[in-house]
Structure 1
């Protein structure tokens, strides 16, 4: 992708900027523009984060004495020291108390078409009842409660009930098998698991309860399994198992008194898969993850109370809790869907957006590429005029799919808020903004409050050159470490340069100040000394009319150090692999001609659509692929292994 020659394709009008959340924030603080805000926030982070909690009108029961304390080091900051509150006060209780009880809090649609609408009063009633039930089962402050549920109302209820109790909620990806689930439960020392009998995927029943039972049998700390009869199978329960509906009905309608806790009290334990070793449990406090998520949604996405907010994700991924916490703190309406995006056909998401009048919608670039391949007609037959903001996260874009999303889904009028960060960040490092001009695939730059930079091998800032993405100040959303493993946390982010967070992404800033993510730095390919981001190669490949998806890796080469090998999901066509190798060489130079192009049935991806290149590379080379528990399609690994076993290193293969 030629970053320097990409045109600006969208600009907001002045009135929209003034009316936006960010515009109003700038006006209130007498700042001229977004960059002026970034500069002031970087110089004075305590001023900025105090301004954020005031912007959000965060309900403190006891006022804080100090905004930020780094006496334990920048790696372990504390925020809003001395203050007491609770996430549930900000996300739920205050809406009911301040006259918004009848506002719709969530709309749920299951894959088989069942629809539920709950008001904030309904959600509070359910969360209070579950909190009473959990307390009756012996759950106390600090206990870990795993939520292994589809993306639906019970999952949101559990998130709020745990907060009210001051228990630590641990969302678990709904697609995990028993072994992956047990690993996380054991590491966390989980006491309770909340699960469902099952759900449907492409019309087929998926028995969650069987998986949960098997996982719990391997974890001695789990003494209670709560089961939601979500699919209507009326499962027989055994000793140590409890019916969710009976628990909440037994509690009646007695409000649960939300526990007031210090600001740094742990709220959320969310696991991410490492490239090696066991998964990492990122710890987040009550005024950490939720605060950062909401600030990003207000400043970048311009989320408002009257929005219907739908992000296609799972509660076990960061974007699930991010949507729930940020959306509810805002007082918006959440749209929840627990099915596949193309069932019964590729119009499912667009149909739901139209029927439920979604205004802010987010999805991964990979999911867009898959839906784009099904043709325009599935989008064009639906009225998507309710959309105001589009969003994307999870991986770098390619220009063709980005423009399709912008033109066909957004009608050329909705900005795409390209958003990149991570579980340990509690949201974004970089973002596009609803108030700023847009280029395809680009970010406008760091979120305010994130002192991000791009640095070279010596740690000095670089522009118009590829470098490491780093952060130089603490922020409330940064993880407070990995569960029971602070050394691993320090090694992962703080070991390269003193007091600098190294995120592990390669980034680039163009001459006009637009930022780009080029992929994970450990995915980077170095051919004959030239450092190459896989997204750059993949953008070329998916621009070919026969290619739907692509992944690029580097493999050892005695002469060049590394050679480029590509994998494509493409239509069957004689000689296509050789054609694609020449196509890459034509666009990127003869020196970067792939050693091999392999056509595969599918690429290994996570549930939220992120292509896992480390798995592709290891499988292709016959090495251990490491943790595969986050993959949606483990079978895809076998296709990559097959190409590796049959590789010739001088021509494409199928």
Structure 2
């Protein structure tokens, strides 16, 4: 933008899209603000507090004001704090979940050192890390978690083989039952709204509603049918869009004492098959078709290609299926009709120990099969507590996050809502178009979850223009690295509401770094470690940098973490997460694999991965998985190396593939790009996109012949940076 904000005038504002009258009015107020403020941060705080920038203003105008105000920030050092765009008010901080608890407990815990939730947030975070037993005893009272048998204690660290400790030992509960029962704290009466939804093909004036009581009745009915079909402890898969039926089925499987196997509806048959095999699933719920963007895509046929086990098939529209079933499979209608009249009137949940498995999720590793990560009943508690503290989910919130139960964010959103007393908002269709945005408006969504690539699409197509998203008090973003300009566009749609950045892992059942309603926020950055989470950043020598020092390095997590995995179904958990990691204060750190930058003021920016894992469209996969299918894409290929690179302007990672050709063969990058895209989408995931292909004579390697993907990644980054300047 070039010009500093103090130099802007009416002509600049008109050129950026305002009418003359709007420009004159804005100029008058801006000059008043500029005359009273010394720093760029103070100027921006006044601009957003007074709501001078409106959602109806063109994005070009928002860009002009924001980038002109923070013009000098582009010349700051690598460790300088990023520009701030959102600031907590003391009034709102005190009525936030964490702020309210701090006001109640702060004077007792910290004495005269306690000031208020904003000033004393660092004290509270340190307390949660140093005293996890005391912190969790407070937070458990805030969630809809009730035990049939109470835990003997909060944390038992007597077993040295358990790096993460034993949490809530001796306790018995059913976490799905906790989601479904009414309560006063959080306020969750029977007639409260549990789910609101809209079908893509239906009249956009209709928002369907289901109360907590109605949801409980539906879940109990399906749980009864599960009892009649399966045995306690069975693993049962879900491969569906995230519809009301999918949510009911998920809760019913857990209520019945079985374990959900999470499978994304985008997976190819090979990926479905491997997950069913690893989890030893006894059956799978799916749909006849996927309805997205007004089109039907086969799903049942993909599932039957992958497995011979029993499939329960839900029609995507209406009551009748659009496919012919195999002999061993059963329709949704027939499945429910198997329930006796007694099963329809009531159901007794199956209560189990807190460490019983309720969900099997998957995360890619560097071997053939994805890592099978079992979620016990501790994981939902951790998920809900993160939503309570970082996102500030409260009763009365309407929470929408377009996702799928095959990814960790799907179950996370369920527990965020139902253990915090919020309403879950579901759109049965594609979130990429205006119809989804209209649903967000009509449903009165107050918390909207996103992934950066989705936001980029909304912005580029301008499909959300003219909609009213001003009821949204917080956005959430996870899965990919955020782009500052895309986030500027998103936040501006709700008068610069906070975007809570979350970064974690399936195996953690949570984020390890996040935003906070008690701290100022910067686009694309994290302001804090999650509550109870401690970490260090260490260099290549394995030595930790001083606490709080600005630096770049690999993150190592403190091992004591409620809800984090302590086992894998198909890999050595200790080898994957602990072996070879440095120690800190006599504790072995937990491996996570992110390279992060910590600024002077403590803000955190993720720089990429330390291993050969990549993040494509919010999905973690490994270089080896990509390379395995690309090596077979054409007879001219000798070998491939897959890396991910962030664009020079920031944002989600892009897939780049380096190729060495067989001797005597010739091919070009564009031809190979088409072949790689086809084979990846057919054999791994149709959502993966190849952005760059480069043919090279050979790969850089270590002395032991391992490909140095880091070197290839750096080469591609440099090439893209040069191209962006041309």
Shorter chain as normaliser: what TM range? 0.7 to 0.9
Aligned positions of 1:352-371 closer than 5 A: 352-371=439-458
1:290: how far off? 0.8
Q: Corresponding residue for 2:315?
A: 229
Alpha-carbon contact 2:79-2:550 (below 8 Å) kept: no
1:66: how far off? 2.0
1:166: how far off? 1.4
| Cα 1:567/1:127, change in 2 over 3 Å | closer
Deviations 1:75-95 (A, max 9, x none): 353211011111022111345
Q: Tell me how far apart the structure 2 counterparts of residues 302 and 76 of structure 1 sit (CA, whole Å).
A: 26
Q: Corresponding residue for 1:127?
A: 219
Q: Tell whether 2:513 aligns with 1:459.
A: no
Q: Tell me how far apart the structure 2 counterparts of residues 276 and 122 of structure 1 sit (CA, whole Å).
A: 44
Q: Corresponding residue for 2:623?
A: none
1:567: how far off? 8.4
Q: Corresponding residue for 1:443?
A: 526
Q: Tell me how far apart the structure 2 counterparts of residues 123 and 187 of structure 1 sit (CA, whole Å).
A: 31
Alpha-carbon contact 2:597-2:605 (below 8 Å) kept: yes
Deviations 1:340-391 (A, max 9, x none): 2334xxx23321211111000010112112221123xx33401112111111
Deviations 1:234-271 (A, max 9, x none): 23333221222333244242221011111111111101
From 499, 506, 516, the equivalent of 1:416 is 499
| Cα 1:156/1:21, change in 2 over 3 Å | same
| SS of corresponding position for 1:468 | strand
Q: Tell me how far apart the structure 1 counterparts of residues 145 and 254 of structure 2 sit (CA, whole Å).
A: 15
Alpha-carbon contact 2:659-2:696 (below 8 Å) kept: no
Q: Tell me how far apart the structure 1 counterparts of residues 163 and 469 of structure 2 sit (CA, whole Å).
A: 44
| SS of corresponding position for 2:80 | helix
With 96-105 and 472-481 compared, the bigger mean Cα shift is at 96-105
What's the C-alpha RMSD, in Å, of the aligned pairs? Answer: 3.4
1:534: how far off? 13
Q: Corresponding residue for 1:312?
A: 402
From 400, 403, 425, the equivalent of 1:335 is 425
Q: Corresponding residue for 2:170?
A: 82
Q: Tell whether 2:389 aligns with 1:389.
A: no
Q: Tell whether 2:406 aligns with 1:321.
A: no
| Cα 1:86/1:524, change in 2 over 3 Å | closer
Q: Corresponding residue for 2:515?
A: 432
Q: Tell me how far apart the structure 1 counterparts of residues 495 and 573 of structure 2 sit (CA, whole Å).
A: 46
With 394-403 and 227-236 compared, the bigger mean Cα shift is at 227-236
| Cα 1:61/1:393, change in 2 over 3 Å | same
Q: Tell whether 2:289 aligns with 1:198.
A: yes
Q: Corresponding residue for 1:547?
A: none
Alpha-carbon contact 2:289-2:296 (below 8 Å) kept: yes
Q: Tell me how far apart the structure 1 counterparts of residues 590 and 654 of structure 2 sit (CA, whole Å).
A: 23
| SS of corresponding position for 1:419 | strand
Aligned positions of 1:247-266 closer than 5 A: 247-251=335-339, 252=341, 253-266=344-357
From 78, 82, 85, the equivalent of 1:6 is 82
Aligned positions of 1:130-141 closer than 5 A: 130-140=222-232
1:611: how far off? 3.8
Alpha-carbon contact 2:371-2:570 (below 8 Å) kept: no
Aligned positions of 1:589-628 closer than 5 A: 611=653, 613=655, 616=657
Alpha-carbon contact 1:126-1:248 (below 8 Å) kept: no
Alpha-carbon contact 1:110-1:339 (below 8 Å) kept: yes
| SS of corresponding position for 1:315 | coil
Deviations 1:156-200 (A, max 9, x none): 111111111111111210111111100000011000111111122
From 185, 190, 193, the equivalent of 1:101 is 190
Aligned positions of 1:414-563 closer than 5 A: 414-457=497-540, 458-462=542-546, 463-485=549-571, 487-488=572-573, 490-498=575-583, 499-522=588-611
| SS of corresponding position for 1:300 | helix
Q: Tell whether 2:266 aligns with 1:175.
A: yes
1:299: how far off? 0.5
| SS of corresponding position for 2:291 | strand
1:509: how far off? 1.3
| SS of corresponding position for 2:556 | strand
Alpha-carbon contact 2:163-2:559 (below 8 Å) kept: no
Alpha-carbon contact 2:432-2:457 (below 8 Å) kept: no
Q: Tell whether 2:225 aligns with 1:149.
A: no
Query: Structure 2 unaligned runs (5+)?
Result: 1-73, 115-119, 618-640, 661-668, 699-714
Q: Tell whether 2:721 aligns with 1:631.
A: no
Deviations 1:550-579 (A, max 9, x none): xxxxxxxxxxxx9x99787xxxxxxxxxxx
| Cα 1:566/1:316, change in 2 over 3 Å | closer
From 2, 13, 18, the equivalent of 2:94 is 18
Q: Tell me how far apart the structure 2 counterparts of residues 259 and 565 of structure 1 sit (CA, whole Å).
A: 44
1:124: how far off? 1.0
With 190-199 and 467-476 compared, the bigger mean Cα shift is at 467-476
| SS of corresponding position for 1:327 | helix
Q: Corresponding residue for 1:550?
A: none
Alpha-carbon contact 1:68-1:81 (below 8 Å) kept: yes
Q: Corresponding residue for 1:529?
A: none
| SS of corresponding position for 1:379 | coil
Query: Structure 1 unaligned runs (5+)?
Result: 526-532, 536-561, 569-583, 589-608
| Cα 1:36/1:617, change in 2 over 3 Å | farther
Alpha-carbon contact 2:362-2:371 (below 8 Å) kept: yes
Q: Tell me how far apart the structure 2 counterparts of residues 117 and 210 of structure 1 sit (CA, whole Å).
A: 31
Alpha-carbon contact 2:644-2:654 (below 8 Å) kept: no
Q: Corresponding residue for 1:216?
A: 307
- The higher radius of gyration belongs to 2
Deviations 1:323-347 (A, max 9, x none): 011211112110112432334xxx2
Q: Corresponding residue for 2:153?
A: 66
| SS of corresponding position for 1:467 | strand
1:151: how far off? 0.7
Alpha-carbon contact 2:287-2:300 (below 8 Å) kept: yes
1:26: how far off? 1.2
| SS of corresponding position for 1:330 | coil
Q: Tell me how far apart the structure 2 counterparts of residues 368 and 616 of structure 1 sit (CA, whole Å).
A: 26
| Cα 1:58/1:567, change in 2 over 3 Å | closer
Alpha-carbon contact 2:427-2:436 (below 8 Å) kept: no
| SS of corresponding position for 1:60 | coil
| SS of corresponding position for 2:461 | coil
Q: Tell me how far apart the structure 2 counterparts of residues 50 and 484 of structure 1 sit (CA, whole Å).
A: 33
Q: Tell me how far apart the structure 2 counterparts of residues 280 and 99 of structure 1 sit (CA, whole Å).
A: 36
Alpha-carbon contact 2:162-2:566 (below 8 Å) kept: no
Could you tell me the TM-score, scaled by structure 1's length? 0.79
Q: Corresponding residue for 1:539?
A: none
